[in-house]
Structure 1
Amino acid sequence: MLKYYSELKFPRITVRNVFIFPGIPQFYEKAFCVVARDSFECYGRFYTRNVYLNATEEQILKNLNLLVKLCPGVEFGSYPVMNDANYKVKITIESSDEKTTNEAFSKLLELIPQQVIVKC
């Protein structure tokens, strides 16, 4: 499906739930903002914290599972990284409430051994 926007010099291209942003990568951000206003409902702001660890997912899995149980209103992401000398996994913490996000972040820092925390 093609849809034209007066703010953009190219059409929005979609195939089912996939959006295609043609062109130079520097323009993607502007294009996404324009398309997002029209295509996605937004129910507020999300608050995100990131923690970078020098440990594998397997090494922290029990602690992450416990954290998920302790923080039911929070979304967690675990992203392994290959070929990076600085860290092995990135943990994301996200919710629609800033206090809830920060509390989950603090709990994560309590549960994860300090020696594997690279950056937070």
Structure 2
Amino acid sequence: MSEVLRNYFKLPNDDKTSPAMKLAMVPKTSELLWGTQRRTGTRAIFPIVRLRNVHVFPGIPQLCEKAFDQIEDLLFSKEGNRFFSHKIFLNIDELPIASTVETIAQKYKDVATIGSYPKINHSYYKTKLTIDSTDKDAAESVLGDLTTALKGFVLFCFGEIC
């Protein structure tokens, strides 16, 4: 990483104090992912840093978007890793339904995730639930279980008729 930064910023080899060199400070156990520039087919100028299952992207939105595009093939295979998502909007606060949601989340813990997000002082809904899975049938089963268990509180499901 130091060499990449020295070349990019045209720094002398012995310059270890330049503010630009702070970008080279990554854990030794991290891995550098080099994407491909779609327009030219050449290697990306800067790598994305991966430490186990954490990917570090640039903080500048335009560079972050470019980085996602450049390493998309490294992160997501063409055959799999498609995500199936649902959103459920409820007219009840989060706490009264928390145990019901947790029970369903535990039932599907190996195949789906459920997120619960309270919305304070909103004129239409009080809680939004999200369902994410790489298995379409599992996502639909979770959706079915939640809408059945929370019947009477469901306002609508994003992309689905409940």
Letter in 1 for 2:104: L
Letter in 1 for 2:146: L
- Kindly name which structure, 1 or 2, has the bigger radius of gyration based on alpha carbons: 2
Alpha carbons 1:21, 1:31 under 8 Å: kept: no
Q: Which SS does the other structure have where 2:57 is aligned? A: strand
Question: Do structure 1's residue 93 and structure 2's residue 131 form an aligned pair?
Answer: yes
Question: Do structure 1's residue 6 and structure 2's residue 37 form an aligned pair?
Answer: yes
Instruction: Give the alignment partner of residue 56 of structure 2, picking from 18, 36, 44.
Output: 18
**What is the CA-CA distance between 1:28 and the residue it aligns to?**
5.2
Matches within 5 A, 1:14-93: 17-24=55-62, 29=65, 31-38=67-74, 40=75, 42=77, 43-72=80-109, 73-93=111-131
In structure 2, relative to structure 1, the CA distance for the partners of 1:23 and 1:65 (3 Å cut) is: closer
Letter in 2 for 1:59: P
Which consecutive unaligned segments of at least 5 residues does structure 2 have? Answer: 5-33, 158-162
Structure 1 or 2: more strand by fraction? 1
* Distance in 2 (alpha carbons) for counterparts of 1:61 and 1:19: 33
Instruction: Give the alignment partner of residue 146 of structure 2, picking from 100, 103, 108.
Output: 108
The structure whose RCO (Cα within 8 Å, separation 6+) is larger is 1
**Fraction of identical pairs, as percent:** 24
TM-score normalized with structure 2 length: 0.56
Which consecutive unaligned segments of at least 5 residues does structure 1 have? Answer: none
Alpha carbons 2:48, 2:67 under 8 Å: kept: no
Instruction: Give the alignment partner of residue 117 of structure 1, picking from 132, 146, 154.
Output: 154
Letter in 1 for 2:136: E
In structure 2, relative to structure 1, the CA distance for the partners of 1:56 and 1:12 (3 Å cut) is: farther
Letter in 2 for 1:33: D
What is the alpha-carbon root mean square deviation over aligned residues?
A: 3.0
